[in-house]
Amino acid sequence: MGRIAVKHFGMVVACLLTLAACSEDPTNVDWLHYGNTHSEQRFSTLDQVNSKNIDRLGLAWLQEIPGARTLAVTPLAADGVLYYTTDHALSVYAVDGATGEVLWTYDQVSEAPDTLRIHMGVNRGVAYENGKVFAGLTDGRLVALDAKTGDEVWSVRTFDLDSSRYISGAPRVFAGKVIIGHGGGDLATRGYVSTYDTQTGELLWRFYTVPGNPADGFENDAMAMAAETWTGEWWKYGGGGTVWNGITFDPEFNRVYLGTGNSNPYSPAIRSPDGGDNLFLCSIVALDADTGEYIWHYQVNPREAWDFKATMDMILADIEIDGRMRKVLMQAPTNGFFYVLDRETGKLISAEKWGGRVNWAERIDLETGRPVEKPNIRYEDGEPVHMWPGTFGAHNYQPMSYNPITGLVYIPHLEAGMIMGTVTPEAYASDPIRTGYKHVAQTGATFGGLLYDSENGGKGSLVAYDPVTQTERWRHVTDSFWNGGTLTTAGNLTFYGTALGEFAAYNATTGEKLWSFDAGLGIISAPMTYGIDGTQYISLLVGYGGSAGSGIPLLKHGWKFGLQPRRLLTFKLDGQETLPPTPPPDFTVNPVLVEGFEPDAIKVNQGITLYHTICSICHGGMLAAESVAPDLRESALSANYDSFAAVLLEGLLASRGMPLFDDLSAEDVESLYHFVRYGAMVEGGAEIEIDMSKCTFCGIAN
Ligand code: HEC
């Protein structure tokens, strides 16, 4: 067997195929970008920790992160310092990579306390360039910080304070520019990305992903072209197509690739009644990195209707396919197919179902690049449909990785379907909840609950996938659904953490589980690795949360709000640190009861609907909370009407992530209060019958 050279953006490393390892001295090797290099492969050439000595891997140090909840972040390592964000990116940490000592923190309070309500507090991290750290804060600020001190160098607003947009993704840097998108596609916003000068914060270019009102003129030819694929008065609904996660810079072609999100509203019958593909929803769009000019696009789901998203990370690689070296872009969007594109032209090379049940399309036609959809899968033609995958997707934002030595992609797979239906345009237009409050999700669809049973779904897995043959190589099924992302290394290892708190290393070639560690709390982040002074370290943030806050039973593991500490764990060979004791999973609910209180059935009913429209994403369906916010049935503060109202109307806890709801009427607050009291009483054993048939959002809770 010969030697192959693995090109690793800037450094060429000699790898012995026989050993399946590249020997690189782990002296001062950084992890500078979200996916390590611009290619976002999440592959490291470091092999000091490898499949032969992994049993010696131990905890080197840990850092406690007080006040944090959801940690979906991949830290960066630059000059031996780790940088990461917490929940709303309102805190940025700099930590010594060898010792875990906190060097500085940057702490902010949201400037838009009412828009805290529109997302789950997820943030995926920072970008780094030449002594500056860039973070996108939830409230829309993009800040540049001095990497040595944490001092703010500049700060810009990427959207207005009253916008229903938010930032959850990591910015990316390339050639003196920093780019950021936003979320809020479900909230009637129009998606865009903005690119700034890393030195000055000056806006260099902005690219919208869906067309606006033709009467205002189109920003560019791409928008004029996209407008041809919409009908009706789509601009009144925002459109969606937000770029809330995947952005990949391609140094070879000097391009950025955007992964765009779902439509708004979901039902095409409302937003684009007379047909059309609705570009650039659910697409991969290539832009010139200097000018933001459109180059090509590939639409994953034409006329998207099911909350499918192409926002997942995109990996760039050079791969031999049918005897030819191809420059590819790989993505596993939520819709359950794995796509390999020629990234020079945007042409589809292959796309296959992978991982699990996919029922909405037969296949992807390689000639047209379009899916061959199954009959009656578009719910707007009639009855609600059973969609596989459902809204969580077969793969979500938890990153996949690609190992050029094994040639495999390691993907965190999710399996759950969902019942989806539509609402009529008339009902949509007059829905009092949708029209009556600020920042309310406007999906134009109904959710009838998640689909899974003992034979189908409800599980997550780590899948090793061959992108050339589009076949699965190996898989580990976990008992939990909403798990972490993956890391793969030249040590022939793949790392993966689960919602049950297991952090494990697998033989990247065979899939054999080689090592595991109980992190004491669920994991939803991806690990990374770096080297300092000849030692290789592997780091992982542990902080279960995000969507788990919705309290969907599938996502509940007893990680109770405020109970299990959030931590940054760092491992090395022969690490001797031990994890301090962590409270075990706790499913108990200790309801607070108000003596003599009698819930009013009408108010409870109104409260249920309102609660499941604006509270349940954090406090849990039917008040069953997990991780990100307290269980209101246990809240002593909520037992008192005045303090309950003050938290909502005055934003007393906004600095801690509890949104301001100053648009609620006294009647609304009262109905929420009655629902919370009712929930506590039922939990305490009271038998009270309430009709829930009119609650449109309650279904997602089961
Ligand atoms: C974006 C997430 C989010 C949403 C949406 C949300 N909350 Fe909260 N809520 C929180 C968090 C986080 C806390 C805990 C703050 C802290 O650490 O003190 C909290 C705390 C509270 C408390 C105080 C509980 C206590 O005992 O300290 C009340 C009451 C409350 N929320 C009610 C509501 C109601 C009612 C709604 C809907 C109208 C709602 N929240 C929506 C995140 C949220």
Q: Whose CA is nearest to atom 2 of ligand 1?
A: 618
Q: CA 88 to CA 499: how far, in whole Å?
A: 20
Those residues with Cβ within 8 angstroms of residue 207's Cβ, 6 or more apart along the chain or in another chain: 192, 193, 220, 222, 258, 285, 287, 292, 294
pLDDT classification of 89: cutoffs 50, 70, 90: low
Structural tokens at position 70? 């959801």
The answer to which of 100-104, 307-311, 379-383, 421-425 has the lowest mean pLDDT is: 379-383
Minimum-distance ligand 1 atom for the alpha carbon of 121: 1
Q: Which amino acid is at 615?
A: C
Residue 450 near residue 702 (C-beta atoms within 8 A): yes
Kindly give the distance from the C-alpha atom of residue 615 to the centroid of ligand 1, in angstroms, as a whole number: 8
Q: Is 4 left (phi over 0), alpha (psi -120 to 50) or beta?
A: beta
Q: What is the pLDDT of residues 573-608, one digit of tens each?
A: 999 999 999 999 999 999 999 999 999 999 999 999
Render pLDDT for 440-489 as a digit per residue (tens, 0 to 9).
888 888 888 888 876 767 899 999 999 999 999 999 999 999 999 999 99
> What pLDDT, on the 0 to 100 scale, is given for residue 449?
82
- Of 20-34, 240-254, 403-417, the one with minimum mean pLDDT is 20-34
The mean per-residue pLDDT over the stretch 24-45 comes to 96
Closest CA to 41 of 329, 413, 352: 329
pLDDT exceeds 70 at position 700: no
Ligand 1 touching residue 166 (CB < 6 A):
no
Q: Is the CB of 619 within 6 Å of ligand 1?
A: yes
Rounded Cα–Cα distance for residues 172 and 170 (Å):
6
Average pLDDT, the chain: 93
Mean pLDDT of 253-268: 96
* Per-residue confidence (pLDDT) for residue 17, from 0 to 100: 43
Q: Nearest Cα to 83, choosing from 577, 541, 580? A: 541
Quote the tokens at residue 531.
């080297």
The CB of 612 under 6 Å from ligand 1? The reply is: no
Residues whose CB falls within 8 Å of the CB of residue 355, separated by 6 or more in sequence, listed in order: 332, 336, 338, 394, 395, 411, 413, 415, 461, 463, 465, 472
The residues, ordered by sequence, that sit 6+ positions from 513 with a Cβ below 8 Å of its Cβ are 476, 504, 505, 506
The mean pLDDT of 368-394, rounded to a whole number, is: 91
Instruction: Tell me, in angstroms, the distance from the centre of ligand 1 to residue 659's CA.
Output: 7
**Rounded-to-integer distance, Cα 22 and Cα 45, Å:** 6
Residue 697 pLDDT? 55
- At residue 336, does pLDDT exceed 70? yes
Work out the percent of the chain whose per-residue pLDDT is above 90: 85
Radius of gyration of the chain (CA): 24
* Cβ neighbours of 630 (radius 10 Å): 18
Ligand 1 neighbour 644 (Cβ under 6 A): yes
Judge if the beta carbon of residue 618 lies within 6 A of ligand 1. Answer: yes
Q: So what's the pLDDT on residue 204?
A: 98
> What is the 666 CA–ligand 1 centroid distance (Å)?
17
Tokens representing 479 are 């008992």
Which is more confidently placed, 246 or 449?
A: 246
pLDDT at 90: 84
Task: Find out whether the beta carbon of 276 lies less than 6 Å from any atom of ligand 1.
Answer: no
How much of the chain exceeds pLDDT 70, in percent?
95
Q: Which atom of ligand 1 is nearest to the CA of 644?
A: 29
Q: How confident is the model at residue 88, as a pLDDT?
A: 72
297 close to ligand 1 (CB < 6 Angstrom):
no
- Angle, vertex CA 666, rays to CA 664 and CA 667, nearest 5: 95
Which ligand 1 atom is the nearest neighbour of the CA of 120? 1
Across the range 300-328, mean pLDDT stands at 97
pLDDT confidence of 8, banded at 50, 70, 90? very low
- Cα–Cα distance measured from residue 343 to residue 255, given in angstroms and rounded to the nearest whole number: 10
**pLDDT computed for residue 139 by the predictor:** 95
Q: What is the pLDDT of residue 19?
A: 43
The pLDDT assigned to 200 comes to 98
Interval between CA 247 and ligand 1 midpoint (Å): 32
Q: How confident is the model at residue 12 (pLDDT cuts 50, 70, 90)?
A: very low
For CA atoms 20, 26, 29, 34, give the dihedral sign. Answer: positive
Q: How far from 677 is each of 292, 550, 699, 702, CA to CA, in Å? A: 53, 19, 21, 21
Ligand 1 binding pocket includes 440 (Cβ within 6 Å): no
CA distance 449 to 447: 6
Q: Is 441 in the pocket of ligand 1 (CB under 6 A)?
A: no
Instruction: Quickly state the pLDDT bin for 431 (edges 50, 70, 90).
Output: confident
Burial level of 578, CB count in 10 A (0-12/13-18/19+)?
exposed
Does position 9 have pLDDT exceeding 90, yes or no? no
Task: Give the pLDDT confidence of 104-158 residue by residue, as tens digits.
Answer: 999 999 999 999 998 888 999 999 999 999 999 999 999 999 999 999 999 999 9
Nearest to 540 by CA among 172, 60, 30, 87: 60
Considering only residues 178 and 383, tell me which one the structure prediction assigns the higher pLDDT: 178
Q: Is 617 in the pocket of ligand 1 (CB under 6 A)?
A: yes
Q: Is 145 in contact with 135 (CB distance < 8 Å)?
A: yes
Assigned token pair, 498: 């689960």
pLDDT of residue 444: 87
- Residue 134 near residue 171 (C-beta atoms within 8 A): yes
Q: Which residue has the higher pLDDT, 609 or 647?
A: 647
Give pLDDT, residue 20.
41
What's the angle, vertex CA 660, arms to CA 655 and CA 664, rounded to 5?
165
- Please state, in angstroms and rounded to a whole number, the distance separating the CA atoms of residues 516 and 503: 6
Q: Predicted confidence band at 432 (pLDDT cuts at 50, 70, 90)?
A: confident
pLDDT value at residue 614:
92
